[in-house]
Chains A and B, each alone.
Chain A
Amino acid sequence: MLHVIVFRGMVVFRERKRQRVKKFWQPILLESIVSVPLRVPRLKKSDAYEFLTLWNNLHESLRDNRLEKLNEAAYMAGAEIAARRLMKNKNVRKRLMSVKALGNLRDEESWEMLERLVGEVNATLSLTAARALMQIDTEKAIKIILPLVSVRTDWAREALSTMFKKVGADAISLPLSKAVIAACRTDLLTPDADALGQHAPRLIYLMRRAHPRFVTYVVRYVLLTMTNVEAIAAALKVYDDPAILPAVRQLLSDQRWEIRVNAANAIGRTGTEQDEKFLVGALSDKEWWVRYRSAQALASLPSVNAEKLENYAAAQPDNFARDILHQVLAERWPA
């Protein structure tokens, strides 16, 4: 019970300290956004964590053109030294906050420390370090990170995608495309049936952050060479070029429904009037999702309107096809 009371005391103490640091540093940091002050007080060692939390928070709420000034003020306060010191702390919370700060500061001197941290078992720490490296030197960081993407399955795909989005298509398109092709080859050459197709899908998924011409090239390559469901489904998800439509149409009659459903979606994005007959055929698919996505794809074709869809529904001999068309009609053009 005493422990509970003591703990409450510590919570109150920490909160007061946070408020004190905030009260002292917030005006200085806000001022530095407008113009960097001539003198910035040195950061106390004991206030490092609270300061970095405040600084990171401000940094991530601002637009790019004011970040430089905020960085300059942080360097003047000695924040990079405090962050490097905090990175060696055992407390994961403090380490994460310091890694984040070093990334935001684009602190090149911390490169080696951060690179070592990318290899950490702890996924949150290693991914945060990877992000920091990307912020410091994108080109150099990509060479370190891309080979790890298919290996570090504990790195959330969505987190990687967000990271690549921030970096921008110019930086990632070429190296990522090369990595996908290499992973496809590895998957094709692997003698282990269980491991087949394990490397490529994660990378293909990230292609949505690349320039369209690279995406087209990679999708075409995957559709031609790969048989793995996940790889093909991932390629169809990022596909966005009518030039490959004939190959996608063929996939509407694939044996695996996961591929058929993604093919229907893909045709919905880029299809033409020619695709109507393929999609109408898929309305009688035995899998509900294929029927639903085909109906949606049909409705989204530029050549189709409500009246045409009603005519298709009236002409359907199959009840399932008719029902799904009625549902999509009601969704798309509510009464």
Chain B
Amino acid sequence: MTLIDFIVAAQWGFLLFFVCINGGYLITIFLAFLNLPGYLQHQVLRYKLPQAPIDFMPPISLLVLAYNEGPVVVSTIRSLLQLDYPTVEIVVVNDGSTDKTLEVMREEFKLVEFPEAFRYRLGHKPVRAVYQSTIYSQLRVIDKENGGSKADASNAGINAARFSLFCPLDADTILQPDSLKLLVQPFLENPDTVAVGGTVRIVNGCQVRSGDLTHRGLPKNLLVMFQIVEYLRAFLFARVGFSAMKALPLISGAFGLFHKESVIAVGGYKQDALGEDMELVMRLHRHFRLHGKPYRITFVADAACWTEVPESLSGLRRQRIRWQRGLMESVMKNRELLFNRKSGLLGWFAIPFMFIFEGFGAGMEAVGFLFIIASYALGLMSIDAFVAFLMLAIGVGLLQSIAAVLLEEMTFNTFPKIKQLLWLMFAAVAENFGYRQLISLWRMVGLYKWLFKYKSKWGEMARTASWTGKALDAAIFKKQIALLYSLQSRAAGTPFLRKKYNWLFKSESRWGKDVDKSSRADKTSE
């Protein structure tokens, strides 16, 4: 085979890859447009009429995982206490925080030590003490030794949960008041349901007061705007599409509802997994499918939570590299599902699609474009064909993004102002020129690190939490203290303020929600 033959063959291979990946995306888009508006039509009585009696809503354990979350944990707990749901318990897992997370909660919620007969059904680092709020009987705090992973803290939360359904949440997650009622519906409709995922929306640019989302806005940061469009694609297309195929491979760690005994039956969260949320969902699929047990894992698009996303390139880079490694690890750990006769569309479409196209796609795309350029340089491809292919590639990307905005407009209409809609459309177009390519590059880095088994560490971060009133105050306060500290340091002597307010400077987390605009942003990691 000559070099030219090889390039021509590679070109055809790339074309096939291009058709398959975009065909896959188009299938999910088609299914989303087919299912989501119909689903919302069924919800009309819930939305338009006064609520039906809710005396049979099953109780839910909300697990709030906190590692050095001093500035935001109180606001999060307050927001959960206001949820419109009959019976919830809030279990906060303080994963050996080194700041004053526990002290802040103790003070705010009047915690007292509680002699709980703690059960270690799932493995995790030892529990130091269990606290109970004397103001809110539904609030408990599990203070444990740091386990170095979100999975370890989640397992402790599951062990402490008293109800049969649990909902793991990050300490900065804001739930919509009705989101639990919506998320629990599949459990009421089908007793075989083991897990349900909800939509994650981006809180950057919104306003939150006392744990309530008071204003839905768009951020000024373009990077966050691109992520909003990306999240719309992920949640409105991929999740809805895969769910319609009964092949949902992922429930976001930020917001999902799980049947506790099913999760315990498969061994809980794996502590060595980088994408512990995806790995757990795939393991649940594997357990039930391969054992031939009836089960259901589904997605509820109108149950939403709001969470913060990275505002800087470095934070986003760390997040995406970690996600990529998490994806590859999760698939490999559950590879039995791949093309197994019992695994249905999950094993024959969803997971192979994610593994091949999301996993290796970025690399193949880059190599493919190199071949296209080489073909053009060697005269194997005309300039017209080259430009046409480039336009087609960008056009398909545009189609996906604009379709996501359209579906959002048809269904939830989250951003009511026309100006917001125009900005969103601008972002949907602009993200195709640079942002997507950047994400592909980071995916390739993630793939490389997974292939060559780079040792993983959790990315440190500091939350901006600029959407909460209190956090806003805290951020300003922090800056003032930092200024005073620098003046003090220059003037010599011990910086007493630094010592006194040390906890404010230690708001980093090792759970890798890489949100970072502040001074500790680049303390990484990978």
Contacts and interface: CB of A to CB of B under 8 A. Distances in A.
Contact of A4 (B44, B119, B189, B402): B402
Interface in B34-70: 38, 41-42, 44-45, 48-50, 52-53, 55-57
Contacts of B94: none
B49 A60 contact: yes
A126 to B, nearest CB: 12
Given A4-B425, A91-B41, A100-B45, A327 B56 contact: no
Interface in A34-81: 53, 56-57, 60-61
Contacts of B421: 4, 8
Given A57-B50, A60-B49, A123 B56 contact: no
Contact of B49 (A56, A124, A154, A326): A56
B42 A124 contact: yes
B41 A57 contact: no
Nearest to B413: A11
A97 interface: yes
A4 B406 contact: yes
B41 A92 contact: yes
Interface string A122-159: 11100010000000000000000000000000101111
B132 interface: yes
B418 interface: yes
B117 A323 contact: yes
B41 A158 contact: no
A128 B41 CA distance: 14
Given A96-B42, A124-B42, A162 B53 contact: yes
Given A4-B402, A96-B45, A326 B425 contact: no
A167 B409 CA distance: 40
B409 A4 contact: yes
A324 B56 CA distance: 28
A93 B44 contact: yes
A16 interface: no
B112 interface: yes
Nearest to B52: A162
A278 interface: no
B114 interface: yes
B189 A123 contact: yes
A56 B49 CA distance: 7
A208 B108 CA distance: 41
B409 A157 contact: no
Contact of B402 (A1, A97, A124): A1
A256 interface: no
Interface string B100-112: 0000000000001
A88 interface: no
B273 to A, nearest CB: 27
A246 interface: no
Contact of A92 (B38, B48, B190, B410): B38
Interface in B138-190: 188-190
A53 B48 CA distance: 7
Interface in B1-55: 38, 41-42, 44-45, 48-50, 52-53, 55
A60 B50 contact: yes
Contact of B115 (A156, A161, A327): A327
Nearest to B42: A124
B473 interface: no
Given A92-B42, A156-B188, A162-B53, A326 B115 contact: yes
Nearest to A320: B117
Given A7-B406, A93-B41, A96-B44, A324 B117 contact: yes
A154 B189 contact: yes
A330 interface: yes
B425 A1 contact: yes
The listed residue with most B CB atoms (<10 A of its CB), out of A8, A122, A157, A165, is A8
Interface in A94-109: 96-97, 100
Interface residues of B, number: 33
Contact of B405 (A4, A165, A324): A4
A335 B52 CA distance: 39
Contacts of A335: 112
Interface in A158-180: 158-159, 161-162, 165
B116 interface: yes
Contact of B56 (A128, A161, A292): A161
A61 B50 CA distance: 7
A8 B418 contact: yes
A25 to B, nearest CB: 15
Given A96-B42, A158-B188, A326-B117, A11 B409 contact: yes
B134 interface: yes
A330 B115 contact: yes
A96 B57 CA distance: 23
Interface in A281-335: 288, 291-292, 320, 323-324, 326-327, 329-330, 334-335
A3 interface: yes
Contacts of B114: 327, 330
A4 B189 CA distance: 34
A326 B49 CA distance: 46
Contacts of A154: 189-190
Interface string B383-425: 0000000000000000000100110011001000010010001
Contacts of B115: 323, 326-327, 329-330
Contacts of B42: 92, 96, 122, 124
B249 to A, nearest CB: 25
Contacts of A161: 56
Contacts of A56: 48-49
A55 B504 CA distance: 54
Nearest to A335: B112
B76 to A, nearest CB: 24
Contacts of B52: 159, 162
A97 B42 CA distance: 10
A91 B41 CA distance: 8
A92 B41 CA distance: 6
Contacts of B53: 162, 165
Contacts of A61: 50
Contacts of A158: 56-57, 188
Contact of A100 (B49, B55, B406): B49
Contacts of B44: 92-93, 96-97
Contacts of A326: 115, 117
Contact of A97 (B48, B132, B406): B48
A278 B57 CA distance: 31
A18 to B, nearest CB: 10
Given A124-B42, A334-B112, 13 more contacts: A4-B421, A8-B421, A57-B48, A61-B50, A92-B38, A96-B42, A97-B45, A97-B48, A154-B189, A158-B56, A158-B188, A162-B52, A330-B132
Interface of A: 1, 3-4, 7-8, 11, 53, 56-57, 60-61, 91-93, 96-97, 100, 122-124, 128, 154, 156-159, 161-162, 165, 288, 291-292, 320, 323-324, 326-327, 329-330, 334-335
22 contacts: A1-B425, A3-B406, A4-B406, A4-B421, A8-B409, A8-B418, A8-B421, A11-B413, A60-B49, A61-B50, A93-B41, A96-B44, A96-B45, A97-B48, A128-B45, A154-B189, A157-B188, A161-B56, A165-B53, A326-B115, A330-B116, A334-B134
State the 4 A-B residue pairs at the shortest beta-carbon distance, nearest first: A158-B56, A323-B117, A93-B41, A92-B41
